[in-house]
């Protein structure tokens, strides 16, 4: 027969009671935790606040910017442009200011030129926003582009790209079942990256615009230098021509009146000797002689211009002309005479 020690039996009962107390305490703690645990998101009440409407071309320029005067817009646009706020942030960028200014001053060529320069950068910014899945910013920039130029060749492509990427991201998010904490973190990182990217992009765009403006200014300066040189060359040529005309006029005024062939008065014009061979042969012909009469009336030079027949009567014609004498003239006179040779005369 086994003998049970009473003291050992009491110790066993006490240990069992203690274990039961511990189990009950743990159960109560679990019940309390379950009561305090928040309801799952799926059981939460639906949001009562409606989502903000998507930005369109009509609402791309904020009411705050639209309310500004033309002078305020022009100054704000100039400042934003200078500080590289080309298309961001919203409500404080050059594109919005210029679009609002265009509505108030449709015929301002400077505004149109500025928008033409800024739109290529806006297109690139839209594509980069889509690539980093910042669709809110992509839609805002797309609305600005549409308001600036509803027929822009890239507009339809960009809108399609935004919609396709949004759908793809939505499907991926549903598959991954992002928690609220992860989504908040993702959005914060996205916002930070967007700000950094836009700052860098706008600085690069500003550098490109500065290079383009410098190239245009250099070309304008070179064109002006060339135009000034051409004008100076023309003025110098005109001045030289005027001086030459003046000098010629002075020479003409100072020089005595020149004589001409009508001023010649013959004193003696003996006929030429008929060459014997031509006379015997009964050959006739003529010779045109050019000769110069000096101021004393004598012939100082004579030459054959043409003869028919050639060379038969040339010598006699020139010899005869050299013997001619005229009344003195004021200045030498050069003229021509045709001398005929006829055996019957």
Residue 68 has pLDDT above 70, yes or no: yes
Residue 306 has pLDDT above 90, yes or no: yes
Q: Domain check: are 281 and 169 in the same one? A: no
The per-residue pLDDT for 229 is 92
246 pLDDT band (50/70/90 cuts)? confident
Angle at 179 between CA 175 and CA 183, to 5 degrees: 95
Q: Domain check: are 79 and 168 in the same one? A: yes
125 assigned to some structural domain:
yes
What is the domain extent for residue 268? 261-341
261 pLDDT band (50/70/90 cuts)? confident
Domain count, the chain: 2
Q: Show the tokens assigned to 208.
A: 């490109």
Distance in angstroms (rounded) separating the CA atoms of residues 172 and 166: 10
Q: Which SS3 state, helix, strand or coil, does residue 109 take?
A: helix
Q: Domain check: are 68 and 163 in the same one? A: yes
Q: Of the spans 117-121, 209-213, 251-255, which averages the highest pLDDT? A: 117-121
Give the H or E element holding residue 302.
strand 299-308
304 assigned to some structural domain:
yes
Q: What is the phi/psi pair of residue 293, to 5°?
A: -100, 125
Note the pTM of the prediction, 2 decimals: 0.46
- Report the range of poorest mean pLDDT among 148-152, 159-163, 228-232: 228-232
Dihedral Cα 165, 167, 168, 169, nearest 10 deg: 90
22 assigned to some structural domain:
no
Domain end (from 199, 223, 247) = 223
pLDDT, average across residues 289-299: 97
**Of 149, 134, 247, residue with least CA distance to 192:** 134
């Amino acid at each position: 027969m086994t003998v049970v020690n009473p003291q050992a039996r009491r110790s066993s009962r006490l240990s069992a009671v203690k274990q039961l107390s511990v189990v009950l305490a743990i159960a109560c703690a679990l019940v309390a935790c379950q009561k305090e645990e928040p309801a799952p998101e799926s059981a939460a009440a639906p949001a009562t606040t409606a989502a903000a409407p998507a930005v369109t071309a009509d609402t791309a320029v904020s009411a705050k910017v639209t309310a500004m005067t033309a002078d305020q817009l022009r100054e704000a646009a100039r400042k934003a442009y200078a500080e590289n706020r080309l298309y961001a942030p919203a409500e404080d960028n050059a594109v919005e200011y210029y679009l609002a200014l265009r509505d108030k001053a449709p015929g301002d060529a400077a505004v149109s030129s500025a928008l033409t320069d800024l739109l290529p950068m806006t297109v690139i910014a839209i594509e980069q926003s889509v690539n980093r899945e910042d669709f809110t910013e992509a839609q805002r920039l797309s609305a600005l582009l549409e308001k600036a130029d509803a027929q822009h060749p890239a507009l339809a492509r960009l809108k399609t790209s935004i919609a396709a990427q949004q759908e793809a991201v939505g499907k991926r998010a549903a598959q991954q079942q992002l928690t609220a904490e992860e989504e908040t973190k993702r959005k914060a990182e996205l916002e930070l990256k967007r700000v950094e990217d836009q700052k860098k992009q706008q600085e690069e765009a500003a550098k490109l615009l500065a290079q383009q403006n410098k190239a245009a200014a250099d070309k304008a300066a070179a064109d002006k230098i060339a135009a000034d040189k051409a004008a100076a060359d023309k003025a110098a040529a005109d001045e030289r021509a005027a001086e030459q005309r003046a000098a010629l006029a002075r020479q003409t005024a100072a020089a005595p009146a020149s004589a001409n062939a009508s001023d010649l008065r013959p004193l003696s014009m003996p006929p030429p000797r008929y060459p014997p061979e031509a006379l015997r042969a009964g050959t006739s012909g003529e010779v045109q002689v050019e000769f110069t009469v000096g101021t004393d009336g004598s012939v100082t030079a004579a030459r054959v211009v043409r003869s028919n027949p050639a060379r038969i009567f040339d010598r006699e014609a020139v010899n005869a002309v050299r013997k001619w004498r005229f009344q003195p003239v004021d200045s030498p006179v050069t003229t021509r005479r045709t001398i005929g040779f006829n055996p019957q005369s």
